[in-house]
Structure 1
Amino acid sequence: MIKKTLSLAIGLISAQLTMAQGFYVDEQSALRLGDAFSGAAAQADDASTAFYNPAGLTRLKQKQLTFNLSAISVTSEFNGSSTTLASTTVTGKDVSAEAFDILPSIYFSAPMSEGLVFGAYLNAPYATGTDFGDNSIGRYFSTESSITGIDFGTAFGFKVSDNLSFGFSMVMQYLSATVAQAVNTSAACKGAELQGDLSPFTCPGLGIADSGLGTSTYDGQFEMQGDDLNIGFTAGMLYEFSPESRLGMHYRNRISHDLQGNATLEVPTAAETFGNLAGLVDTKAKGTATLETPSQANLSFYQGLGKFSLQADVQWTQWSSFDTLSVKSDNDVIKGVAGPQTYNWVDSYRYAIGGSYKMTPALTLRTGLALDNTPIKDKQTKIDFAFDDYKAISFGLTYDLNKELAFDFGIQKTLKQKRAIAQGDITDPSQNLSKLKGDVSTDVLSLAAGINMKF
């Protein structure tokens, strides 16, 4: 039966833009990108503080509207090999993916009374995608995947004293995901033979030779799509030692999603006979998967020094909540194909330091450095999650056209990452009858532009 012969490791969030911080995307502000997000919870210079720390809204004395457009380019390449049953080499193209995503964001703030400021934002902190193609040697693990996570938040910041402010926001989060991968139907038939479910002469009698187990001729295709809407919150604190020195803290709670949608398995006509023997038939059914966006906490410091400023940030992310991912369905075929996948990630820390220099009354230059520890343990690396610790350098600037209008620009280069993977187990029927072994190299470049209006 299919549950004994084939269980595909479905990674519902297979994100190439995620880098070391799991599937969270930092690039939500052009101003913040320029200093490597080194003082986001403390600086509070524009309306994006509604997202980074709503307590900072109390520093904004005018209405502000901030637009940002971020572009993230990611190139990933796999160097290695893939094998299936009978030690047969999986044939196909090299595994590589080039992703270019545009992420817009908008932030608004408005003072309501003395010491009370309202804020709102719309951004996409979980927005990624990749396409490895249907004929790569890694197709039995992933062919295409995408995730879109959109946050709409309303926030309030309020002063409790001249030095201390608190803030909170309610977040409505929409999350959708798509995953697709090939199904090795000929290997499923061979696997059924090896487990005694079929006669050892069945598959050869149908024209399936060991030498052809790794070709794409008889590949089926599995795809699942799902989405969900749920609510969360954030809370923050800002303490101002002086007008030029402050400390900010911010907490973002995890949001659990029950992604609901359709799962589809398509088996080619040429594979219908032995596909049926292995329990693989054309199927479309409802399915669900539970996924959480993790809790986060930031501690930031900002210090103004005349024309210069220095800032630093430490971010904790509770990636340990991402342990397993299972697709649930009332359909036996889908339950067998979409087996559980183990991640067992660990909590991670991100460290950043940055500074700025006001070159002229209108022009401010920025730079920053960041280090983010990967939450992915060596034994849990996968073709779509093979990111190592990332080290990044950022540069940026702000040009004040006048007192009401400013333009922000930022660029961040992440140093090239390389991570070894050994995914799959052809001796274990709970795996997907293929094994992938090699190294994944990843290059990331981020650009952003923004406009900030005061009125």
Structure 2
Amino acid sequence: MSFAALIAALIAAQGAQAGGFAVREQSATAQGYSFAGAASGSGYLSSMFWNPAVITMAPGWHSEWHLSLIVPRIDINPDPLRTPTAVFGASGDIGQDAIVPTGFASYQINDRFWVGLSSTAPYGLVTDPRENWAGQVYSRSSRIFSANINPVIGVKVTDWLSVAAGPTLQYFDIRLKSAVPTPITVPATAVLPGQPSGILEGDDIGFGFTAGLTITPFAGTTIGVGYRSAIEHNLEGSFTLPAGVVAPVAVRTPIDATLKTPDQVTVGLSQVITPAMTVHLGFEWTNWSVLRTPLVTSASTGAVVQELPLNYDDGFFYSLGIDYRLNNQWIVRAGVAYEESPIDTEIRSTRLPDNDRVWASLGLGYQWNDKLSFDVAYTHIFAKETDIRIVEGHQDFRPGLPFVADVESDVDIISVGLRYRWDDAKVAIPAAPIVRKY
């Protein structure tokens, strides 16, 4: 595999739990609604991930912790009539279980100002097919890891308008493996079981920001809009070719690769229907098209090695949720969502075959006392019928190695959350009352 081709695999890696390589599972509370109304506060303090302005909806001093277990199942089954390497077999289940922890905190300074902090994991991927399978030259194991820290300041500008903003610091790390032919001993186009792996790895720390606002035009109605900026990562790492590819020994080359994670806009509406029932709506746009032409550069010379057209579309997410308060302690939640993936058949890869999907969620909340409450949620994701067509004209195609396959996939997610109020609600600073805008 060429240097540029393996770098391309780095940039093209895709995630399993949200469109592209994003991870949406940041809140057990919001997950119960399939993230409907996440920007308008349906996730309580954890809604800060989508809209930092919701911090002003939490009077006093609060903390939240959430933990999500993601269990994907993804099987890639090659077509034996159109895939020369089909004799090596299917991928097996390439989905790897993952745990995503998040944390949020807020502190009210006075009746107009709040400060807060969130720690999240916006991007991630772990896939691992069988070592020797029909698509080994296009992918073996893949790993993407991220961690994001976001302090914010929130201001209640008026009784009906709040705003907030803050910087983000994001760590991004990636490691990818693919089978590499060894032309020193076999023809360059040969694909044999047991071929060694080329490994690409790199990491970086990048900076961006979040901003948002909430509007309460009427009592019982909350509208929220949040923005997460793009973050450019200049990944530094290495590209390792195994022995027998270009030399009798393994060759490790320092590399740089430029990758920009997409910016995102989230809109939420929460409407109280009765004292016990609230309906939530959500819309999310993710600007995946910023990945269209990432650059690969030589670490030693700085020269551009290649421009890599990825041709991602933008991603869209639509959600509807409802909650019903059974009594002062128990609340039940439900939600559905439809997600338009930024990936289609023209560019879909074997790293993780992303496609449009339907989310169905249930959630439950329990208020233990004035300070402590718990949340739990379950989601099943139904993926649209998916295929992979790496043939001539596809951006990943290698001459002489077409790969055509069908994909079976679904995802189960279980999340738990804990919320705690550190101060005494009876003596806390009151938030400004919600009044009509006009």
Contact 1:423 / 1:437 at 8 angstroms: preserved in 2? yes
Question: Pairwise mapping of residues 101-116 of structure 1 onto structure 2 (< 5 A)?
Answer: 101-116=98-113
In the alignment, structure 1 residue 220 sits paired with structure 2 residue 196: yes
Aligned match of 2:180 in 173, 178, 183?
Answer: 183
Question: Pairwise mapping of residues 378-389 of structure 1 onto structure 2 (< 5 A)?
Answer: 378-389=345-356
Question: Which range is displaced more, 415-424 or 172-181?
Answer: 415-424
Contact 2:7 / 2:200 at 8 angstroms: preserved in 1? no
Q: In the alignment, what sits opposite 1:265?
A: 241
Aligned partners of 2:223 and 2:375: how far apart in 1? Answer: 23
Contact 1:230 / 1:257 at 8 angstroms: preserved in 2? yes
Q: In the alignment, what sits opposite 2:75?
A: 77
In the alignment, structure 1 residue 289 sits paired with structure 2 residue 257: yes
Question: Which range is displaced more, 420-429 or 63-72?
Answer: 420-429
Question: Which range is displaced more, 27-36 or 90-99?
Answer: 90-99
Aligned partners of 1:451 and 1:178: how far apart in 2? Answer: 33
**Cα deviation per residue 1:279-311 (whole Å; 9 max; x = unaligned)?**
786201211111111010011100112100001
In the alignment, structure 1 residue 169 sits paired with structure 2 residue 166: yes
Q: In the alignment, what sits opposite 2:426?
A: none
Q: Which amino acid aligns with 1:215?
A: L
Deviation at 1:243, TM superposition (A): 3.5
Inter-CA distance 68–148: structure 2 relative to 1 (3 Å threshold): same
Task: Note the residue ranges of structure 2 that are not aligned, 5 or more in a row.
Answer: 423-438
Contact 1:299 / 1:313 at 8 angstroms: preserved in 2? yes
Q: Which amino acid aligns with 2:88?
A: G
In the alignment, structure 1 residue 95 sits paired with structure 2 residue 91: yes
Q: Which amino acid aligns with 1:37?
A: F
**Cα deviation per residue 1:210-240 (whole Å; 9 max; x = unaligned)?**
xxx33225x2320011000011001101001
Aligned match of 1:244 in 195, 203, 220?
Answer: 220
In the alignment, structure 1 residue 142 sits paired with structure 2 residue 139: yes
Q: In the alignment, what sits opposite 1:47?
A: 45
Inter-CA distance 10–246: structure 2 relative to 1 (3 Å threshold): same
Q: Which amino acid aligns with 2:105?
A: F
Q: Which amino acid aligns with 2:235?
A: L
Inter-CA distance 429–232: structure 2 relative to 1 (3 Å threshold): closer
Inter-CA distance 433–62: structure 2 relative to 1 (3 Å threshold): farther
In the alignment, structure 1 residue 311 sits paired with structure 2 residue 280: yes
Normalised to the residue count of structure 2, the TM-score between the two structures is 0.88
Q: In the alignment, what sits opposite 1:254?
A: 230
Q: In the alignment, what sits opposite 2:24?
A: 26
**Cα deviation per residue 1:368-395 (whole Å; 9 max; x = unaligned)?**
0100101113211111242221111110
Q: Which amino acid aligns with 1:284?
A: R
Contact 2:388 / 2:403 at 8 angstroms: preserved in 1? yes
Inter-CA distance 144–214: structure 2 relative to 1 (3 Å threshold): same
In the alignment, structure 1 residue 11 sits paired with structure 2 residue 1: no
Aligned partners of 1:44 and 1:419: how far apart in 2? Answer: 32
**Cα deviation per residue 1:263-285 (whole Å; 9 max; x = unaligned)?**
11113xxxx4xx45xx7862012
Contact 2:181 / 2:188 at 8 angstroms: preserved in 1? no
Task: Note the residue ranges of structure 1 that are not aligned, 5 or more in a row.
Answer: 193-212
Contact 2:347 / 2:395 at 8 angstroms: preserved in 1? no
Q: Which amino acid aligns with 1:407?
A: F
Inter-CA distance 80–429: structure 2 relative to 1 (3 Å threshold): closer
Deviation at 1:16, TM superposition (A): 6.3
Aligned partners of 2:11 and 2:290: how far apart in 1? Answer: 14
Secondary structure at the counterpart of residue 113 of structure 1: coil
**Cα deviation per residue 1:41-76 (whole Å; 9 max; x = unaligned)?**
112663213322111111111211101100101111
Secondary structure at the counterpart of residue 55 of structure 1: helix
In the alignment, structure 1 residue 35 sits paired with structure 2 residue 33: yes
Count of paired positions: 419
Contact 1:363 / 1:398 at 8 angstroms: preserved in 2? yes
Contact 2:89 / 2:134 at 8 angstroms: preserved in 1? yes
Contact 1:68 / 1:105 at 8 angstroms: preserved in 2? yes
**Cα deviation per residue 1:6-65 (whole Å; 9 max; x = unaligned)?**
955742156564345111111000001100100011126632133221111111112111
Normalised to the residue count of structure 1, the TM-score between the two structures is 0.85
More helix by share: 1
Q: In the alignment, what sits opposite 1:152?
A: 149
Bigger radius of gyration among the two = 1
Question: Which range is displaced more, 27-36 or 125-134?
Answer: 125-134
Aligned partners of 1:344 and 1:454: how far apart in 2? Answer: 46
Question: Which range is displaced more, 417-426 or 69-78?
Answer: 417-426
Inter-CA distance 169–429: structure 2 relative to 1 (3 Å threshold): closer
Question: Pairwise mapping of residues 413-432 of structure 1 onto structure 2 (< 5 A)?
Answer: 413-425=380-392, 431=398
Question: Which range is displaced more, 319-328 or 291-300?
Answer: 319-328
Secondary structure at the counterpart of residue 48 of structure 1: helix
Aligned partners of 2:105 and 2:114: how far apart in 1? Answer: 10
Deviation at 1:79, TM superposition (A): 1.3
Secondary structure at the counterpart of residue 44 of structure 2: coil
Inter-CA distance 54–44: structure 2 relative to 1 (3 Å threshold): farther
